[in-house]
Amino acid sequence: MPGIYRIKVPSPDFPRRVKGHLEAIGTGLKELIVPNRVTTQYPRERRKLSDNFRGMLQYDIDKCISCFQCAFACPANAIVMKKAPNGKYYPCVNYAKCIFCHFCVDVCSKGAWKASKFMDVAFPDMEEMLLTTEKLLRPPEVEREDERSVEYEFRAGKLIMKKHPFEDITQAGKD
């Protein structure tokens, strides 16, 4: 059973207020002199994503058995099954609807869906956002400006922005 922790709301008197002002200004000055930056400069640097990152989907047509389960489970109705010339049904993904929940990845018992680390994608128009099966299979065009990736690490409560060299994000996350 948790205990009760009753806090006292301070009502600072005059010397305490002066101290508060000085402390606030002191903290500001300290940060001004020794800045602790946490932001990354996005197009030049990119945050290192964890291996289980839920990015765009990668599809492996050879493993798919057209079981329709991914389309059935998709919460956003982003997956539609389209009939291919060979008579089988294959999924298409509408990225206008997809919410990157990766239920489809977890649903597919054959492992036909895989996650990738792409997340900053641009489509020319709304129609393009519907990736048909052929488009899904085609490797995406990658244009990158970044030279390094940044990883947040901590040592004894201090943030260390670890810089990694150019990271390959075209590969699917590890299984």
Contacts with ligand SF4, residue ranges (CB under 6 A): 64-70, 74-76, 78-79, 91, 93, 98-104, 107-108, 110, 112-113
Distance in angstroms (rounded) separating the CA atoms of residues 131 and 12: 61
Q: Binding residues for another protein, per CB under 8 A? A: 1-12, 17, 20-21, 23-28, 31-32, 35-39, 41, 49-50, 52-54, 69, 72-76, 99-103, 105-111, 115, 152-159
State the residue for tokens 């509408």: 94
User: Do residues 111 and 121 touch, judged by C-beta distance below 8 A?
Assistant: no
Query: Pick from ligand SF4, another protein, none: which does 39 bind, CB < 5 to 8 A by kind?
Result: another protein
- Taking the complex as a whole, the smallest distance from the CB of residue 114 to ligand SF4 amounts, in Å, to 10
Pick what 49 binds: ligand SF4, another protein, none; C-beta below 5 to 8 Å, kind-dependent.
Answer: another protein
Q: What is the dihedral of CA 83, 84, 89, 95, to 10 degrees?
A: -80
Between 69 and 132, CB nearer to ligand SF4:
69
C-alpha dihedral sign at 36, 41, 46, 52 = positive
Binds 165: which of another protein, ligand SF4, none (CB < 5-8 Å by kind):
none
Contact of 173 with 114, CB cutoff 8 Å: yes
Residue 31 interacts with which of another protein, ligand SF4, none, CB < 5 to 8 Å by class: another protein
CA distance 171 to 145: 18
